[in-house]
Amino acid sequence: MTKTRKNKDTDQLDLQKLSIQISLNGLSFCILNTIHNEITALKHFHFEHVTNPLQLEKEVIAIFEQEASLLDQSFEAVTVSHINTLSTFVPKPLFSDKNLADYLKYNNKILANDYITFDVVANNDMVNVYIPYVNINNLFFEKYGAFHFKHFATVLLENIFHLPKTSEEATVYVHVQKEQFEIVVIQHKKLLLYNSFEYSSSEDFIYYLLFTLEQLQLNTDTIQLYFLGAIDKADILYTVTYTYVRHVDFLDKKYPFEFSTEIETVESHHNFTLLTNF
């Protein structure tokens, strides 16, 4: 989905692209210099006590002020992904834009005045119906003019579908965030399952993961599982998963750009959705 207007700085566009990821738990952004094909900025901000979009708006405004030297620029393109659990996937043959609320109401609590929109998943026969943070979109619109936004799950799935096929068997991808994680199961370039879970302990995490694998009748001794997002080998979530699942690895993503020497080196699986949303 795109919000558009004529950008007042159109004649002075810098050849940089900005990718932003926003949730109640935090905000991340990175900047790509398209001349040098290099990531020149990569930043993460965590929110401890944000529970609603109005509180989130105050945090975003504070980051705009704090990071003015980076964010008060003209960009060739701005892309935003919204992270929340207010989304659902619909097969394209069954989709109608007249029934958006109907798709969401069975799995989510929605209000009469909620703004509901959708993304068409680029490389699969699905549509993602979701509720974005409208007030946050309005902030970005006022600051940058035209920008493109998607739901985080759309970005995740589109880029997983782009990964080279490594097996004829089902492959499990687990994307970890603070207090939330996503499970994606792909086989033959088709989506078997997508689900998002909230968790507060490693016990919650492994329960949801093993229950999902059991429901799909996937063998934990043979299935390949890849971790993405905010997880490392030293984390308890990795340890408890490896206790029950034999083949666990971190996704090794090759990006089509370099990273500035000023950016602290991070593992390629950490910022998968942020760095693939230009």
Band of residue 4 on the pLDDT scale cut at 50, 70, 90: low
**For the chain, domain boundaries:** 2-86+113-158+255-275, 166-250
pLDDT of the residue at 264: 87
Q: 252, 31 in Cβ contact below 8 A?
A: no
Equal fold, 2-86+113-158+255-275 vs 166-250: yes
- Say if residues 168 and 188 touch (Cβ distance below 8 Å): yes
Query: Which residue has 């390949």 as its token pair?
Result: 224
Do the beta carbons of residue 24 and residue 136 sit within 8 Å? no
Confidence (pLDDT) at 25 = 94
- SS3 of 152-217: the string is HHHHHHHHHHCCCCCCCCCEEEEEEECCEEEEEEEECCEEEEEEEEECCCHHHHHHHHHHHHHHCC
CB 228 within 8 A of CB 274: no
pLDDT band at 11 (very low <50, low <70, confident <90, very high): very low
Residue 167: its pLDDT value, please? 79
Residues 69-96, mean pLDDT to the nearest whole number: 95
Q: Locate tokens 């929340």: which residue?
A: 84
Is the pLDDT at 7 greater than 60? The verdict is no
CATH class of 166-250: alpha beta
CA distances from 268 to 17, 48, 118, 254 (A): 19, 26, 29, 7
Give the percent of the chain with pLDDT over 90. Answer: 85
Q: From CA 278, how far away is CA 275, in angstroms rounded?
A: 7
Rounded CA separation 278/100 (Å)? 27
**Can you read off the two tokens belonging to residue 162?**
């782009």
Q: What is the pLDDT, as a whole number, of residue 10?
A: 43
Q: Which residues of 76-92 are buried (b: 16+ CB within 10 A; e: fewer)?
A: ebbbbbbbbbbbbbbee
Helical pair 236-244 and 202-215, crossing angle rounded to 10 deg: 30
Q: Give domain 2-86+113-158+255-275's CATH number out of 3.30.420.250, 1.10.3470.10, 3.40.50.720, 3.90.1150.10.
A: 3.30.420.250
pLDDT-derived band at 12, boundaries 50, 70, 90: very low
- Residue 9's pLDDT band (cuts 50, 70, 90): very low
Residue 118, pLDDT score: 98
pTM: 0.91
